[in-house]
Amino acid sequence: MGDANRHVVAIFGGACAGSTAADILAARGIDVVVFEQNARPYGKIEDGLPRWHRDQRRMEYKRIDARLDRPGVHVVPRTRLGTDLQFDEVIGWGFSAVLLANGAWRDRPLDIPGADAWLGRGLVYQNPFIYWFNHAPEASYSGPRYTIPPGAICIGGGLASIDVIKVFQLEQYGRALAARGIAVTMHDLEHAGIAATCLAHGIDDPASLGVADGWLVYRRRVEDMPLATPPPNATADQVLKIEAVRRKMLTKAQEKFRFHVRPMALPVALLTEEDRVTGVRFVETEMRDGKAVPLDDRAFDLHSTLVVSAIGSLPEPLPGIVMKGTFYDYADWDTGAYAPVPGVFGVGNVVTGRGNIKASEQHAKGVAHWLAEHYLGVQPEQTPRSIDQMTAGAEAGAAVAAAQVASYVEARPPLTAAEAEALLVRVRTRQSQVGYGTYVDWMAQVTPADAD
């Protein structure tokens, strides 16, 4: 193999999308180098999917491991595009193709003038907030820590915002129960819900615990919350059905986790005192032609020292990569082909265009509502709690992209044995710099003993 002409493809990001593409390309005899910024390659599954999805996380970890720990795949951890390696430099190395599978890790900025100056002083974005929730129990965690205050505020409306408001409630009620000498695990509280857990411990009314429940504030109607998606070209009837599903899902989640919802309100200013955020000023909205229009004379305030903004995740801008608006500059959303440089493709969450959504829709057809209910944990008690189809969209999208990349690559002459070897020498050098030997040894070395 070492002295044969062949293709070598680089992938940045080793999670659902990157590992799926690596597996498929390696199975076609292509050498694949997976550069991953973190020590562990699990991406959103480890850092974005709240840790109460324990079984799902473990299962996905195994699937990612199986795809990366195989002949033909060379993993290079702790190597970040834009920091340890530059895009233009990598392009110059002469890989047969380069795949960007680096996900969507930049929080959509909160549209309040000057808001970001208050980050870390009461304002937090959803991605670092869930990272804290997932990793804070590990002894080695050294990032910021949050104590959920009364009436914490989450701005959002999608699944990720429900994750955040659930964290508020689980943390607050867990603490209130502990103060009464009742120890419940976060997993039990999430699984059974707040009222049922209280009842099981002889508390008839959870309100008697005196928790000031958190607020979820959304700019449109509850029926517009992107918790479930209508099929493409939905009829008016189908849209109405989806709206009813969204309302039902939210009501169930509220019953189980007791949070407040304030629809049709737009944040316009942070309230601050001295060095801290103390709340948010909102204005009410009205819907006109499907748009939330602010009613400037209808302002109200919510007060809390924690505000989490969960209004969407976007690809991170990276030096050398041309953006078109908030996304990379794709020539074709279906293939993820990056316009400025031939042979570069986006795959997975990093492409949030039609290609990915289409694949995800095809895959998740008919199970979207079921899935979302499972994701939210509001499905009937007797049904199993698997949400494994959740990653199916990213995987299906990555599989389609990998097939396209393979066709692109295979239509070109392979690298000479010397060119391929020169690339792999760079790879081995970097692997030894970061201390990587084999996948199994590396994972054993970097997995915290107390990882959930």
Ligand X SMILES: Cc1cc2nc3c(=O)[nH]c(=O)nc-3n(C[C@H](O)[C@H](O)[C@H](O)COP(=O)(O)OP(=O)(O)OC[C@H]3O[C@@H](n4cnc5c(N)ncnc54)[C@H](O)[C@@H]3O)c2cc1C
Closest approach, Cβ 104 to ligand X, in A, equals 6
Binding of ligand X by 36 (CB under 6 A): yes
Closest approach, Cβ 48 to ligand X, in A, equals 4
Binding of ligand X by 390 (CB under 6 A): yes
Q: Which of 27, 29, 38, 93 binds ligand X (CB under 6 A)?
A: 38
Closest approach, Cβ 128 to ligand X, in A, equals 14
Burial of 188 (0-12, 13-18, 19+ CB in 10 A): middle
Binding of ligand X by 22 (CB under 6 A): no
Binding of ligand X by 160 (CB under 6 A): yes
Nearer to ligand X, 282 or 328 (CB): 328
Specify the stretch interacting with ligand X by CB under 6 A; choose among 264-272, 276-284, 324-332, 388-396. Answer: 388-396
Site for ligand X in 191-230 (CB under 6 A): none
Binding of ligand X by 102 (CB under 6 A): yes
Nearer to ligand X, 195 or 225 (CB): 225
Closest approach, Cβ 67 to ligand X, in A, equals 11
Closest approach, Cβ 227 to ligand X, in A, equals 10
Closest approach, Cβ 11 to ligand X, in A, equals 9
Site for ligand X in 104-123 (CB under 6 A): 105
Q: What mask of x and - would describe binding to ligand X in positions 255 to 284, judged by CB under 6 A?
A: ------------------------------
Q: What mask of x and - would describe binding to ligand X in positions 59 to 88, judged by CB under 6 A?
A: ---------------------xxx------
**Strand-pair partners of 281:** 269, 301
Number of residues that bind ligand X (CB under 6 A): 35
Specify the stretch interacting with ligand X by CB under 6 A; choose among 159-167, 244-252, 294-302, 438-446. Answer: 159-167
Q: Which of 21, 76, 177, 394 binds ligand X (CB under 6 A)?
A: 394
Q: Are 106 and 307 in contact (CB under 8 A)?
A: no
3-class SS string, the chain:
CCCCCECEEEEECCCHHHHHHHHHHHHCCCEEEEECCCCCCCHHHHHCCCCCCHHHHHHHHHHHHHHHCCCCEEEECCCCECCCECHHHHHHHCCCEEEECCCCCEECCCCCCCHHHHECCCEEEHHHHHHHHHHCCCCCCCCCCCCCCCCCEEEECCHHHHHHHHHHHHHHHHHHHHHCCCCCCHHHHHHHCHHHHHHHCCCCCHHHHCCCCCEEECCCCHHHCCCCCCCCCCCHHHHHHHHHHHHHHHHHHHHHHCCEEECCEEEEEEEEECCEEEEEEEEEEEEECCEEEEEEEEEEEEECCCEEEECCEECCCCCCCCEECCEECEEECCCCEECCCCCEEECHHHCCCHHHHHHHHHHHCCCHHHHHHHHHCCCCCCCCCCCHHHHHHHHHHHHHHHHHHHHHHHCCCCECHHHHHHHHHHHHHHHHHHCCCCHHHHHHHHCCCCCC
Polymer length of the chain: 452
Binding of ligand X by 355 (CB under 6 A): no
CA atoms within a 13 Å half-sphere pointing along the CA-CB vector of 365: 6
Closest approach, Cβ 298 to ligand X, in A, equals 31
Q: What are phi and psi of 24, to 5 degrees?
A: -65, -45
Binding of ligand X by 45 (CB under 6 A): yes
Q: Which of 23, 31, 107, 163 binds ligand X (CB under 6 A)?
A: 163
Specify the stretch interacting with ligand X by CB under 6 A; choose among 35-43, 136-144, 414-422, 440-448. Answer: 35-43
Closest approach, Cβ 349 to ligand X, in A, equals 3
Binding of ligand X by 128 (CB under 6 A): no
Q: Which of 11, 393, 399, 415 binds ligand X (CB under 6 A)?
A: 393
Nearer to ligand X, 49 or 308 (CB): 49
- Which residues of this protein are in contact with ligand X, per CB under 6 A? 12-18, 35-38, 41, 43-45, 48-49, 80-82, 101-103, 105, 159-160, 163, 318, 348-349, 360, 390-391, 393-394
